[in-house]
Chain A
Amino acid sequence: MKAVHYVNQFFAGLGGEDKAETPPTRLDGAVGPGRGLAAELGDVEIVATLACGDDYFAEHEEEAVATLLGYLEQDRPDVLVAGPAFGSGRYGYACGTLAAAAAERGIPSVAAMHPENPGVDAAGKAYVVPTAVNVAGMRDALPRLARMVSALGAGRGLGTSDEEGYLPRGFRRNYFAEKTGAERAIDLLLAKLGGETRTEVGGGLDRVEPPAAVPDLSEALVALVTEAGCVPQGNPDRLPSVRAQGWFRYDLNGEETLASARYESVHGGFDVTLANEDPNRLVPLDTARELVREGRIGRLHEAFYTTTGNGTPVVTATRFGREIAGELREAGVGAVLLSGT
């Protein structure tokens, strides 16, 4: 099995801070701490060492990553190992970023650094083995790093972060606990009543920087968007009633109202009887037209956007939002009336 090892200019023996601008380069075999790592690896051979100056990586990230991935393409290793970077932020960031990029391309990757190194967040799907904050921790880190390299190189399915000694990557994975959810709920409640609040899963509030207020709506182009599953009668594009994979844009064709003969809702999360009697109850086209006539709103965008917000993973819905917003921005839309159910 083959591994490629990434280090910075210092650990590659190219120089210190004075060589931090060194562009990516490839050296044969193991270099510097790579030799110590190689000694711990049984059946995995470090065939090449990639090195890059920490400043170069920070200032030319895209090119650096591209070049390094190019080297990996040539060497085709079974695993990429990066670091240990310990507490060095720039080095750790480079290790994490490269490891993440390699993992995206299907190369099992593991980096090593201190748990508070900013590079940990950059590591994405790659694994990170925790180390001490400085190089005094090298002797301790190498065997643990080597175990992960061997496991990844061999394609052995990894256990939990606790079992294998890597930092939790943030992915949620199912498992069968020893106790039922009911028993765990009683435990959590009694703990809370005893003053110790614990949770098995955390919620959180997403924060989005609020856009500035619309300075003058009478000049603005306003669009109607909905997740209420409002579609033309017959649902010609087969918008799903649950777990929608996309959204649709429908031209309003100058219509003054969303007539029940021409529109319906296919949303599977609520009773659409009232909505189908008068689709304006979901997407207030008639009111919007009135307000344009009165000059309260400048203009109404000539299409409305729709999807079904029912069992849609947040990640997917975020993508929808981004895509729709992109089109709206292109069209010069300044404000959106979004309806939800």
Chain B
Amino acid sequence: MYVTSLPTVATMIGANRIIRGPAITHPFGLDADERRRIVERALELLETEVEANTVWGVAE
């Protein structure tokens, strides 16, 4: 489960579960609420079967 703002790199290197984080300087966002939303999304993706590179965004 890879949280990154560079999903093209993640896809290139074969990561299968990718969460598109907001920024290079803070992949989990700035505040605790945003962080919580991103981590929860990541956990959802961990619980989801995937067949290949899957990139999910995070709702505001």
Q: Please name all residues of chain B whose beta carbon is closer than 8 Å to the beta carbon of A211 when the two chains form the complex.
A: 16
Q: Please tell me if A270 contacts chain B, counting CB pairs below 8 Å.
A: yes
Q: Please name all residues of chain B whose beta carbon is closer than 8 Å to the beta carbon of A210 when the two chains form the complex.
A: 16-17, 50-52
- CB-based nearest A residue for B14: A206
Asked whether B26 lies within 8 Å of A275 as measured between CB atoms, the reply is yes
Q: How far is A214 from B12 in the complex, measured between Cα atoms in Å?
A: 23
> For chain B, what secondary structure do more than half of its interface residues adopt (helix, strand, loop), or is it mixed?
loop
Q: Please name all residues of chain A whose beta carbon is closer than 8 Å to the beta carbon of B49 when the two chains form the complex.
A: 212-213
Q: Would you give the shortest CB distance from B57 to chain A, in whole angstroms?
A: 16
Q: Please tell me if A303 contacts chain B, counting CB pairs below 8 Å.
A: no
Question: Which one of A269, A271, A280, A341 has the greatest number of beta carbons of chain B within 10 Å?
Answer: A341
Number of B residues contacting the other chain (C-beta, 8 Å)? 39
Q: Please tell me if B1 contacts chain A, counting CB pairs below 8 Å.
A: yes
- CB-based nearest B residue for A211: B16
Would you give 23 A-B contacts (Cβ < 8 Å), ordered by A?
A: A203-B12, A205-B12, A208-B14, A213-B46, A213-B49, A214-B46, A217-B46, A228-B27, A271-B25, A274-B26, A280-B28, A281-B26, A282-B28, A284-B39, A286-B35, A287-B35, A287-B36, A288-B39, A297-B43, A335-B1, A338-B1, A340-B6, A340-B27
Given A217-B46, A274-B25, 9 extra CB contacts under 8 A = A269-B24, A280-B35, A281-B29, A282-B27, A290-B36, A291-B43, A297-B43, A317-B13, A338-B3
